[in-house]
């Protein structure tokens, strides 16, 4: 199969590296010629292009790993092979998918996806097939998608190292990732920015602070777009979190040890249940 990956950053580069050795013809598109050369030198792509004019009309599968706002631009500016499939790695779905479907020829299918994986660093240098190892993948099923195309993509991504592939609607995806992905990033940013810097914090932290703030090293352009385009769902998740935090705060005001223990027991049980998934 001839596969073209658009955008060879951490996610696009990880797709390329995960596909290496699987017998596909893999090509890359990126505006950075240095990135294309690195991918070619690694043997993860056969050839690199700065735009899609030449390779996209030949590709059986196009994997677009760009910011949400750039996915639509790429679709508008390229002609896709009839019978081919387009997929993406965008962290929000509802706001742009219908526009994408309206732009694509009826002989081409868009099957949207979201690898629940990544790294804090940007760029091909930090890409690795290990990024996908044992991670979860969400596959979006839209009413316009053919069942066989969904099945194909489910099988395809399973070969890349993901431990679980879940199929859901665009709306359900945006609701769940507001809680499982966007809220944790919001909390990490708020936590590290709430430091009054009275002390040299780095000399006093342990694993808990280090783990909780790892994702505060954040791509400001990407994540501001993700937050704003999924604002309603994210606000609902933040409000739900605030209710729980207020309960802890009230227990402290009330010197209520029993309430604190009750909440800690509940959180421990829920965390243990997660580990069994």
If asked whether residues 71 and 130 sit together in one domain, one would say yes
Q: Are 204 and 86 part of one and the same domain?
A: no
Same domain? 267 vs 181: yes
CATH value at residue 260: 1.10.3660.10
Per-residue pLDDT at 134: 87
98 pLDDT tier (thresholds 50, 70, 90): confident
Residue 274 has pLDDT above 90, yes or no: no
Here the CATH number for the domain that contains residue 47 is 3.40.50.720
Residue at which a domain ends, from 137, 168, 199: 168
- From residue 129, alpha-carbon distances to 12, 43, 60, 80 in Å are 10, 13, 22, 27
Average pLDDT of 5-16?
96
10, 85: one domain: yes
**pLDDT for the residue numbered 208:** 95
Q: HSE (CB half, 13 Å, CA atoms) of 78?
A: 27
Per-residue pLDDT, averaged over 231-251, amounts to 98
Say if residue 122 is in the same domain as residue 180: no
> Sorting pLDDT into bands at 50, 70 and 90, what band is 1?
very high
Same domain, 133 and 194: no
In this predicted structure, what is the pLDDT of residue 122?
77
* Mean predicted confidence (pLDDT) in 11-22: 95
Domain end residue (candidates: 127, 147, 168): 168
Percent of all residues in the chain with a pLDDT value above 70, rounded to a whole number: 99
pTM for this entry: 0.89
Total Cβ atoms within 10 A of residue 144: 14
Mean pLDDT of 161-184: 95
Q: Looking at the structure, tell me whether residues 28 and 164 fall in a common domain.
A: yes
Amino acid 123: pLDDT: 87
Q: For 53-83, write each residue's pLDDT tens digit.
A: 999 999 999 999 998 889 999 999 999 999 9
Quick one: 28 and 154 in the same domain? yes
Tokens of 120: 């804090």
- What would the mean pLDDT of 85-105 be, rounded to a whole number? 91
Do 214 and 229 reside in the same domain of the chain?
yes
Q: Give 120's pLDDT tier (boundaries 50, 70, 90).
A: low
The verdict on 104 and 161 lying in the same domain is yes
Number of domains the chain is built from: 2
pLDDT at 178 over 80: yes
Residues 152 and 193 in one domain: no
Q: Could you report the per-residue pLDDT of 180-217, keeping only the tens digit for each?
A: 999 999 999 999 999 999 999 999 999 999 999 999 99
> pLDDT value at position 9?
93
Find the mean pLDDT for residues 26-32: 97
Domain that includes residue 186, residue range: 173-275
Q: Which of 168, 187, 203 is the last residue in one of the domains?
A: 168
Distance CA 105, CA 189 (A): 41
* Residues 59 and 105 both lie in one domain: yes
Instruction: Inform me whether the pLDDT recorded for 260 exceeds 70.
Output: yes
Q: 14 φ, ψ to 5°?
A: -70, -35
d(CA 212, CA 208): 6
Q: Strand order of the sheet with strand 61-64? A: 48-49, 25-29, 2-6, 61-64, 85-88, 109-110
């Amino acid at each position: 199969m001839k596969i073209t990956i658009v955008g060879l950053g951490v996610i696009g580069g990880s797709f390329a590296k995960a596909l290496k050795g699987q017998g596909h013809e893999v090509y890359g598109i990126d505006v950075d010629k240095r990135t294309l050369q690195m991918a070619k030198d690694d043997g993860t792509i056969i050839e690199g292009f700065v735009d899609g004019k030449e390779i996209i009309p030949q590709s059986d599968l196009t994997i677009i790993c760009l910011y949400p706002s750039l996915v639509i631009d790429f679709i508008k500016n390229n002609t896709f092979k009839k019978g081919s499939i387009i997929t993406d790695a965008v962290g929000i779905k509802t706001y742009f998918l219908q526009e994408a479907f309206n732009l694509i020829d009826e002989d081409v299918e868009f099957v949207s996806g979201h690898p629940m994986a990544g790294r804090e660093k940007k760029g091909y240098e930090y890409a690795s097939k290990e990024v996908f190892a044992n991670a979860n993948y969400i596959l979006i099923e839209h009413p316009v998608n053919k069942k066989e195309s969904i099945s194909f993509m489910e099988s395809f991504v399973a070969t890349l190292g993901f431990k679980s592939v879940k199929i859901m609607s665009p709306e359900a995806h945006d609701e769940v990732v507001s809680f499982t992905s966007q809220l944790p990033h919001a909390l990490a940013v708020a936590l590290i920015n709430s430091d009054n810097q009275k002390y040299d914090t780095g000399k006093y932290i342990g694993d808990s602070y280090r783990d909780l703030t790892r994702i505060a090293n954040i791509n400001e352009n990407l994540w501001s777009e993700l937050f704003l385009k999924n604002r309603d769902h994210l606000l609902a998740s933040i409000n739900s979190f605030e209710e729980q935090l207020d309960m802890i705060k009230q227990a402290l005001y009330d010197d209520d040890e029993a309430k604190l223990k009750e909440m800690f027991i509940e959180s421990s049980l829920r965390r243990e249940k997660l580990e069994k998934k």
